[in-house]
Amino acid sequence: MTSLDLSTDRPARRHSLSLSIGLALVGLNVVVAILTLFWTPYDPLNASGGRLEAPSWLHWVGTDRLGRDYLTQIMIGARTALIVGTGAVAIGASIGVTLGILAAFATRLLDDVMAATLDILIAFPTLLLAMLVVAASDSASLWSAILALGLAISAIVARLTRILAKRVLRQDYIIASRTSGTSWLGVVAWHVLPNIWPTLSVNFALQFGLAVIAEASLSYLGLGAPPPNASWGRLLQEAQGTVYTAPVGSIAPGIALVALVIGMNLFADGLRDVGDPTRRRSR
C-alpha cells in the first residue's frame, strides 16, 4: 500500500533543522579549537588562581587542583577532540574504503575470508582494539590514539563499503559498463564511489562522534595523550578524584564532549535526510 506512506511525509524544514543545529555545534567547536591556537583566557600550563576554585567571573568554570583555569583546559580539549576525530576518520576512511572495494571485487574465497575477519574485528568494541594498539606502541601519545581509533574505524568502514559496493556492482548498468570495456578502476571512480558516497559520509560523521568518545575513554583510562595535552577524558579522570569538593569539574568537560558528539550525530542525521531522500528511516 504505497498510498499510506503519505503519512511519513515530513515537511522539509525539519531535515535541515537537525543539519543546522549539528553544524552550529560542530562549528562552535571548530571556532574554539582554532581560537586556542592564538589565544586562551589563561596560560594552560601554569596556575592562574587558587586550587579548585569554584566558578567565578575570573574563572567561569573554576580552576583545577593545580590552580589552572579550567575553561582554558576545556577549550584546548576541543582542539584535541577535533584532531583525534578528524585524524581517526581520515585513517579509517582511507584504509576502510580501499579494503572494502578490494573485497567487493575479490574472488569469492578471498571475499569470504575478509568478511569473516572483519566480522570478528567488529565484534570487539573500538575501545578494546584501541587499548591494544596504544599498548603496543611504546609510549602513549596523541598519535597512537589516533592510529588505534583509525584502525578500529577502518574495519567498520571496510565492511560497510564492501556491502554497499557489492550492491552497486550487481546493478545492470554496471555490468553493461564493464562488458563495454570500462576498466575496474573506472567503474570504481565513475559508478561505485559516487553511489556509495552519501551513505559513507553519514557513517563517517557517526564514526567521528564515536572516535571522540573513544579517545575520551582512552585518556580517562590513562592511555590517551599524556599531559600537557588537555583531553576531556583526562580532565574528567582528574576531576573524579575531587568530585566531592569540586563537582563542577566533573560536569563541564562532559557537557562539551556530549555537545560535540550530538552535533556530529545531528549533522549525520541531516546529511542522511538531505542527501538521500529515498532512504527515510520509517519502514
Partner 1 sequence: MSALLSVQGLTVRAGGKTVVSDLSFSIGSGERMGLIGESGSGKSMTAMAITGLLPPNISVTGSIVLDGQEIVGTEDKHLNRLRGVATAVVFQEPLTALDPLMKIGKQIAEPVRRRLQREQGRASRQAVGREVLDLLDKVALPQPERIANAYPHEVSGGQRQRVAIAMALACRPKLLIADEPTTALDVTTQAEILKLLDGLVRETGMALLFISHDLPVVAEVVQRVMVLRDGIALEEGAVIDVFANPSHDYTQTLVDAARMFDEALGRTGS
Partner 2 sequence: MLRPSDKRKPTIFAYILRRFAILILSLLIAAVVLFVLLRLLPGDPANALLSVGADQQQIEAAREQVGSNLPLWEQFLRFVGNLARFDLGTSFVSGKPVVEEIAARLTVTVPLALLGFALAIAIAVPLGILSAVKANRWYGAAISTVSQLGIAIPVFWVGILLVTVFAVNLRLFPSGGYPRRGWQNEGQVLYALALPVLTIGLVMAASLIRYIRSATQDVLGSDYLRTARALGASFSQALIRHGIRNGAVPIVSILGIELATTLLGAVVVERVFALPGLGSMLLLAIEQRDYPNVQGVLFISTLLVLLIGFAADLFQRLIDPRLRERATGAAT
Footprint of partner 2 (CB under 8 A): 1, 111-112, 115-117, 119-121, 123-125, 127-128, 131-132, 135-138, 209, 213, 216-217, 220-221, 223, 233, 236, 239-240, 243-244, 247, 250-251, 254, 257-258, 261-262, 265, 281-283
Per partner kind, with CB cut-offs from 5 to 8 A, the member of partner 2, partner 1, none near residue 99 is none
Exposure string (b/e) for 124-140, b if CB count within 10 Å is 16 or more? Answer: eebbebbbebbeeeeeb
Residue 2 binds which one of partner 2, partner 1, none, with CB within 5 to 8 A depending on kind?
partner 1
CB count in 10 Å sphere of residue 207: 28
Task: Check: CB of residue 280 under 8 Å from CB of residue 221.
Answer: no
23 contact partners, CB below 8 Å, separation of at least 6: 263, 267, 270
What residues have CB less than 8 Å from 263, skipping those under 6 apart? 21, 22, 23, 24, 25, 26, 28, 29
CB of 8 to partner 1, least distance (A): 9
Minimum distance of partner 1 from residue 32's CB (angstroms): 41
In angstroms, what is the minimal distance from the CB of 160 to partner 1? 27
Residues 4-33: x where in contact with partner 1 by CB under 8 A, - otherwise, as a string = x-xx-x------------------------
**Are the beta carbons of 29 and 267 closer than 8 angstroms?**
no
Cα radius of gyration (the chain): 22
Task: Count Cα atoms within 13 angstroms, Cβ side, for 16.
Answer: 3
Q: How far is the CB of 141 from partner 2 (least distance, A)?
A: 14
Shortest Å, Cβ 1 to partner 2: 8
Residues that bind partner 1 (CB under 8 A): 1-4, 6-7, 9
